[in-house]
Amino acid sequence: MSNILVFANQQGDALSPSAKEALAFACQLAKSTGGEVAAVLTGPAAVTCSKEAIACGANKVYTVSNPLLAEYQADVYVDCLSTIFKQSGADIFVLSFDQIGKDLVGRIATRVGASAMTEVVDFKTEGQKITWVRPIYGDKAFGEYSANRSLMVVGIRQKSQNLPLPDESRTGEIISVDYQPKEELVLTKLVVKIQSALSDIRLEDAAIIVSGGRGLEGPDGFAELQALADVLGGAVGASRAACDAGWVPSNFQVGQTGAVVAPDLYIAVGISGASQHLAGISNAKTVVAINTDAEAAIFKRADLGVIADYKQVIPALTEKLKKVLV
Handedness of CA 131, 205, 236, 42 (dihedral sign): negative
CA distance 3 to 7: 14
Q: Which is it for strands 129-136 and 141-145: parallel, antiparallel or unpaired?
A: antiparallel
On the question of pLDDT at 267 being above 70, the answer is yes
**The overall pTM is greater than 0.85:** no
How would residue 95 be classed by pLDDT, with cut points 50, 70 and 90? very high
* CATH number of the 4-185 domain: 3.40.50.620
Percent of the chain with pLDDT over 90: 77
Stretch 199-223: mean pLDDT: 89
pLDDT of residue 114: 97
CA distance 254 to 280: 6
On the question of pLDDT at 195 being above 60, the answer is no
Dump pLDDT digits (tens) for 60-87.
999 999 888 888 889 999 999 999 999 9
What's the mean pLDDT when you consider all of the chain?
Answer: 92
Per CATH, the architecture of 203-325 is what? Answer: 3-Layer(aba) Sandwich (3.40)
pLDDT of residue 326: 65
Amino acid identity of 261? V
On the question of pLDDT at 198 being above 90, the answer is no
pLDDT of residue 271: 97
Stretch 108-134: mean pLDDT: 94
pLDDT of residue 109: 97
Please check whether residue 96 is in contact with residue 19, taking contact to mean a CB–CB distance below 8 angstroms: yes
pLDDT of residue 199: 54
Dump pLDDT digits (tens) for 282-313.
889 999 999 999 999 999 999 999 999 999 99
Stretch 10-31: mean pLDDT: 93
On the question of pLDDT at 38 being above 90, the answer is yes
Q: CA 13, 19, 22: angle at the middle one, nearest 5?
A: 160
On the question of pLDDT at 116 being above 90, the answer is yes
How would residue 127 be classed by pLDDT, with cut points 50, 70 and 90? confident
Write out the residue limits of the CATH 3.40.50.1220 domain(s) in the chain: 203-325
Angle between helices 310-325 and 221-232 (to 10 degrees): 20
CA distance 132 to 144: 6
Write out the residue limits of the CATH 3.40.50.620 domain(s) in the chain: 4-185
pLDDT of residue 151: 96
Dump pLDDT digits (tens) for 227-266.
999 999 999 999 999 999 999 998 899 998 888 899 999 9
Residue 220 DSSP symbol: T
